[in-house]
Amino acid sequence: MEITNVMEYEAIAKEKLPKIIYEFYASGAEDQWTLQENRTAFSRILFRPRVLIDVSKVDMTTTILGFNISMPIMIAPMGMQKMADPQGENATARAASAAGTIMGLSTMATSSIEEVTSTGPGIRFFQLYVFKDRNIVVQLVKRAEKAGYKAIALTVDAPRIGRREVDIKNRFTLPSHLRLKNFEGLDLAKLDKSQTDNSGLASYFAGQIDLSLNWKDVKWLQTITQLPILLKGIITAEDAKLAVQAGAAGIIVSNHGARQLDYVPATIMALEEVVKAVQGRVPVFLDGGVRRGTDVFKALALGASGVFIGRPVIFSLAADGEAGVRKVLQMLRDELELTMALSGCCSLNEITRDRITTLWDAPRISPRL
């Protein structure tokens, strides 16, 4: 069967993966309302295409933190990718590099910082969780710097792990043959079967992640690295302003794939509030729910500098390894190019707010001719 859109990979992944692993990747927190909303919210934004514009050349290239990439579609950091495919994060890194875009590597990866670098050239960001033992944080950041990573994406929405009831039911833990490779040689490399009525991941977080993480720590992080720091997990104007004041180089509007606090808005619904709050002082990115090139266009029209995709990468990796991830990136690229052409946009800076309409927009009064 020919794959014609990225969503079709999920059914293949569901068939191929063990139930516990598929459900770990696919599920959200509690009632999973936000999980559905991350997708459905896009359908409440409609296009206002302009016609009779020469779209024989459509340019999707952009610059993120000074790095040139082929399109405003990047790969979000996701943990434990070797549960999906034996090559895991290494395959994802090669696919991102081949597509000329950025990959985020998770702290909780099953390939190490250095292993991913060894796959070849590429622009990579390192996603950071802050551990109670700050020496581990310093080590991780220094290793990322040394290995040529270009930014740190600090996750700020996970002092504790959300209540993912599917993982609790399944007593989810990392398969015994896999390790969290960034912690090899430390006692942190394994997720043990939970001794509590929880998932192994939730127990791990409770034991290791620093609940006291606050704005002062963003400043502290700047003292241990020269790399730009993105804050991942901001969805309000108030926090966006504080992020700029704290010296963040960018903001990733994210609700952690709807895996943390349920009943937060879809990220596409929170995006414009954050964009308006930062007033162009730092770039804002969208993470969550992107499955179509039309979704990417809508995010850019609302002021995002780019989007990060997560589950489509994991499901395509499970279905067809590196080739699957390459195809997802190519399909989203092709869809964005077509959406731009049909909307009358030849470059990304032409994707302006007036190219879309939302339910919350004031009614448009046509000018008198």
User: Catalytic positions, please?
Assistant: 256
**DSSP state string for 55-116:** -S--B--EEETTEEESSSEEEPP-S-GGGT-TTHHHHHHHHHHHHT-EEEE-TT-SS-HHHH
* CA-to-CA separations, 286 to 2, 41, 338, in angstroms, rounded: 29, 13, 20
Provide the 10 A C-beta neighbour count for residue 58: 16
SS3 314: helix
Angle made by CA atoms 114, 317, 160, in degrees to the nearest 5? 70
Query: Which are the contacts of 72, defined by CB distance < 8 A and separation ≥ 6?
Result: 60, 62, 64, 296, 300, 304, 305, 306, 307, 336, 348
Distance from C-alpha of 110 to C-alpha of 94, rounded to nearest angstrom: 15
Distance from C-alpha of 3 to C-alpha of 15, rounded to nearest angstrom: 15
Tokens 């700020």 sit at which residue? Answer: 156
Angle made by CA atoms 345, 230, 76, in degrees to the nearest 5? 65
* CA-to-CA separations, 239 to 110, 203, 310, 340, in angstroms, rounded: 31, 28, 23, 32
Tokens 């707010």 sit at which residue? Answer: 353
Tokens 């296009």 sit at which residue? Answer: 47
- Backbone torsions φ then ψ of 94, nearest 5 degrees: -65, -40
- Backbone torsions φ then ψ of 302, nearest 5 degrees: -85, 5
Output DSSP code: residue 59: B
Distance from C-alpha of 327 to C-alpha of 332, rounded to nearest angstrom: 9
Distance from C-alpha of 290 to C-alpha of 44, rounded to nearest angstrom: 14
Instruction: Give the up-direction half-sphere exposure of residue 329: CA atoms within 13 A in the CB hemisphere.
Output: 30
* CA-to-CA separations, 326 to 149, 270, 313, in angstroms, rounded: 21, 29, 9
